[in-house]
Amino acid sequence: FHLEQSLRRALERDEMLLYFQPRRDLRTGRIVSLEALLRWRHPREGLILPGRFIPVAESTGLILDLGPMVLEKACRQLQDWRARGVPTVPVAINLSTQELYTEDLPRHIQQRVQAADLPPELLEFEITESTAMRSMEEAIHILGRLNKMGFTLSVDDFGTGYASMSYLSNLPVQGLKIDQSFVAQISDPRHEAGADATIVKAIIGLGHNLGLNVIAEGVENESQRRFLLRQGCTLGQGFMFDRPRPAGEIEAQLRIGA
């Protein structure tokens, strides 16, 4: 099994699909948005997770085919749900480093979204802290353009990179996602006085003070949920509520409003 060759073929044969993981209001459990997560359904290897192939796609340049394909699939899914009267929520798409700095990404995104006749409010884009830091001035410019077009932006995996507070305050983003490695450390009430709990509290405070929506990733249990709520973080995603799932299963949940 040669990953790079197979990946090229996978794109031609359309073996890629999107799963979706809800972000929920931690108080009510209501779905507020979805994150699109790429999956590769390999005919022999089965379902391959992005952690295995996104880095290869990035290093080979295949990401420049994969990225637009993800956007296209997400737009088509939203369009389909809307056409069939399924109550929709915004869908967040992960942008890799190479994609963000692609020539004229904002215009490309705008064209796709307009072609699907979608309001820009239905799409969010996530970039990691390290992607933003790669070329700060350029990132500010690109994100600013996306913002003017009406798209919502957030910083993913926050806390794992080296972004300083002043950098974060300069980024035209609306949201911040606490990396799941920190959230994992508050899964036991006895850890709430520990260093990681302090980091989680600090990130929530920083995000809110900058006027950002703060989403906790990797919420797996009730004590994490309660801790986050006590700190004022009301948005989360994680296995406590949902695993990433195919569109059909998500649709059923959107219909019942759960």
Helix 195-209 with 222-230: angle, nearest 10 deg: 50
Q: Please give the radius of gyration of the chain, using alpha carbons only, rounded to the nearest integer.
A: 18
Q: Which is nearer to ligand G, 83 or 116 (CB)?
A: 116
Q: Where are the alpha helices (DSSP H) in the chain?
A: 3-12, 50-60, 63-83, 97-100, 105-115, 129-134, 136-148, 165-170, 180-183, 195-209, 222-230, 247-256
SS3 236: strand
SS3 131: helix
Contact partners, residue 224, CB within 8 Å, separation at least 6: 183, 186, 187, 216, 238, 240
Q: Which stretch binds ligand G (CB under 6 A): 3-11, 49-57, 102-110, 247-255?
A: 49-57
Closest approach of ligand G to the CB of residue 246, in Å? 13
Q: Which is nearer to Mn ion, 126 or 251 (CB)?
A: 126
- Binds ligand G by CB under 6 A, chosen from 75, 244, 250, 254: 244
- Binds Na ion by CB under 5 A, chosen from 129, 157, 192, 251: 157
Closest approach of ligand G to the CB of residue 237, in Å? 6
Q: Which stretch binds ligand G (CB under 6 A): 76-84, 105-113, 143-151, 235-243?
A: 235-243
| Interaction of residue 70 with ligand G, rule CB under 6 A | yes
Closest approach of ligand G to the CB of residue 96, in Å? 4
Q: Which stretch binds ligand G (CB under 6 A): 48-56, 167-175, 227-235, 250-258?
A: 48-56
What separation in angstroms does the CA of 82 have from each of 97, 203, 227?
Answer: 31, 35, 36
Q: Which is nearer to Mn ion, 92 or 192 (CB)?
A: 92
Closest approach of Na ion to the CB of residue 178, in Å? 9
Residues of this chain that bind Na ion (CB under 5 A):
156-157
